[in-house]
Structure 1
Amino acid sequence: MRDLAPVSFGREARRLKLDTIVRLRWLAVTGQCLAVSVVHLHLGYRLPFLTCLAVIAAAAAVNLWITLREPASHRLAENPATALLAFDIVQLAALLYLTGGLQNPFAVLFLAPVLISAASLSPMRTLGLGLLAAFSATILARLHLPLPWSVPGGLVLPDVYVAGIWTAILLAIAFTAGFAYRVAEEARQLGEALAATEFVLAREQHLSQLDGLAAAAAHELGTPLATIRLVAKELDLQAEPGSAMAEDTRLLRDEVERCRVILSKLTSLGDEEGHGFLATMSLGHVIEEVVEPQRSFDVEFVINRTGDGPEPVCRRSPGLMFSLGNLVDNAAGFAQARILIEARWNAEIVSIEIRDDGPGFASEVLLRVGEPYVTTRGHNRDEEGGGGLGLGLFIAKTLIERSGAQLTLWNAGPPNGGAVARIMWPRAEFERGVGRSSTDLGTEALSQAEPLPI
């Protein structure tokens, strides 16, 4: 499989944005102020009000300091981001110590800094912050001031209930942090894989635009060729009939005329009516083009084409050629001796099935084949290069599905075994942008409609 190395956006793009953490902390400071003020001033519960305000003011002071120190668009490195989130945990622990410890229902806010870390920092940093939050919750389970209450002496909750709260907080930290990290990591991998897909598609599109470059080159060569033709004509007039010079000048004029014909064909490649023969491909030509680079390997290719009616024709698409090439390349990399490619079509469906006689897909990854960074096979038949990163098949699957087809992968049963890849299009999708013409020897011709959506 022609897997690509993962596209790196750099650590800078993954770092926590300063503006994000500043806004979240202002939200926390506002909520803490409202909660403490309502409990003490409105409900009349007794608590160390000024000390609580001092703890909240410390968080506000840190927020002001980092706001003045760095621009809002600054992205924090892992060390300062971890330090700021650790400060949030300690500040919350101090506030909970003053207001009842784990008996305070706001103890659940221990989850917030750990969740932020799981979504933006490395797993080791998240583990460290999770352990800090768990340690703080453990201390607060036994060491804290009384929970503010309206009656003298406050409300004392049973130890078993506090132990339940402590257990719930620890489990919530572990579960939500793991879940948030997994979701964020999958989103990052998907973003990188899609960027790789766009890069490959742009590269293939660039290769498909060589006809335009050829037309430009032909246009530039027209002027010197006309000069050569004029000089050859003058030399032919000056040469004596039947002489060697006359034969040479006549040959020169013939070759110049031949070059003019070739250049006229190249110039027509960029015209809407002149490159239809290159803009379209029959199903058989598509298969031959993706198989040809693999024929140099010690693998036999058997190609069967059967169907009802004329062979379907599609517009030449860089994405389609690249994705089919990946699947054939993958089969060639794992086949023992033979690859069977069967193309079938009828009035409704066009399908291509690629079978190899290799070891097939590993059972533990078969259900996830096509996801980014999931390798397709366990071992290469040459034991070189490993299985890649899984980006090649992800790109192929993405481009094939964009063309309106469905890719299905499975392992063939005995006696032959091996992997099977089937691509199936509705015929209308495969032939989108293609019209019938009575010209071109009665074969399929192409109109210049919108291209296959890949």
Structure 2
Amino acid sequence: MTDWADLRRTARETLAGAARRLGAGRPAGLAAPGTLEDHDGGRQNLLLLVQLRWIAVAGQVVTIAVAQAGLGIALPLGPMAVVLVGLVVLNLVSLSWIARGGSVTEGVLFVALLLDVVALTAQLYLSGGATNPFTSLFLLQLTLAAVLLSSRATIGLVALTTASLGVLLLSYRPLVLPQGGENELFRLYLVGMLVAFVIDAALIAVFVTRVSRNLREQDARLAAMRQRAAEEDHIVRMGLLASGAAHELGTPLSSLSVILGDWRRMPELTASAEIAREIEEMQEAVGRCKAIVTGILLAAGAARGEAPHLTSVRTFVTELVGEWRRMHACFGLQVRDEFGEDEEIVSDTALKQVVFNVLDNALDMSPRFVELAVSREGDALRLSVTDRGPGFAPEMLARLGQPYTSSKGRLGGGLGLFLVVNVVRKLGGTVEARNRSHGGAVVTISLPLSSLTV
């Protein structure tokens, strides 16, 4: 047997690992305070900046064309084109960085927004400086910074933007207006302010909404990660208790088995048919207890000599059904086999206990009818247990697999489905539950055959 001290040490190490994961407090791609982790969230936000930059390039090209050709305003097309090419190159570099799986940290987003501010400052410098109504576009960069970056990085970008606007107040290339255009300068400025406001409002509404959606998705992933860490912590503690109890029960059960074996050979006891029959029943009960202890230890990774063995889906189901029927001698379990061509798998005690749990729950709610359906869907084994009981309450379906969620009203109820969901999840499968329209419920375990086959 595994030494009790080793078992406790293993549990402590597992709990420490779970604590470290929970202490990290965030799944991949979720920003910590002052940082942005390198996964889906960071990449999605950088892609948003890339899209915004494409819109900025297209908008600047249109604005320059309208000003130059439509309004007759002479602009330095060469330097302005250089800035546009720089934005295009920055976008290509960003897309290449994402495609190569580069780390998208808060620093990367800060540099991207900083370069956007520098590019906007350069274009405004070449087209009238602070007299250009499009200076309000700085607000878009600051809004995105406030959403994407930490407060410290946002303050840095605010300082840079303020300094840029201050430079544009003092130094810029004046607009060269067509002859007589000075008279319409104020009207053009008002029209430019209106266009800049519409662009600002539209882009802020669209992109901030999308960034906020990304952040909400990250928060949901964090909540799911914390829930899973809590469940794994609960399972470790339950496994520690169950394994410890199994180890402690092993010795007295072995002693009982030896004593009963001696009694079966004692003439004064075997002379009575009734006593002999009771001894046989006691021996069977002890054997059943030893089998349960073995199952617990196998599930905990501390086998007592019985190794998993090769079998097939149909043989596994047949043995499982036969054993369950022996445990419920007065009950007839209905079996429906729709699996198709049989396939070799490794017999798994944990999986057997999982199906037993679901069958036991169905029997508790529907003593007169329980059906086990075995089928195949693609590369997955599906085990569906149907009953004719009252079904699941809506709140139970919403919290399926969470500990202590049960309609039975028993202390500790709900642990069966909790363990079912977590064991199946470890095997790469899923557990689904639904109520039937004409009464009863169906619990379906779906397992990839790749996790069971050799």
- Which category of TM-score, normalised to the shorter sequence, fits these structures? 0.3 to 0.5
TM-score (norm 2): 0.45
- Which structure's relative contact order is higher, taking Cα pairs within 8 Å and 6+ residues apart? 1
Give the structure with the larger helix fraction.
Answer: 2
TM-score (norm 1): 0.45
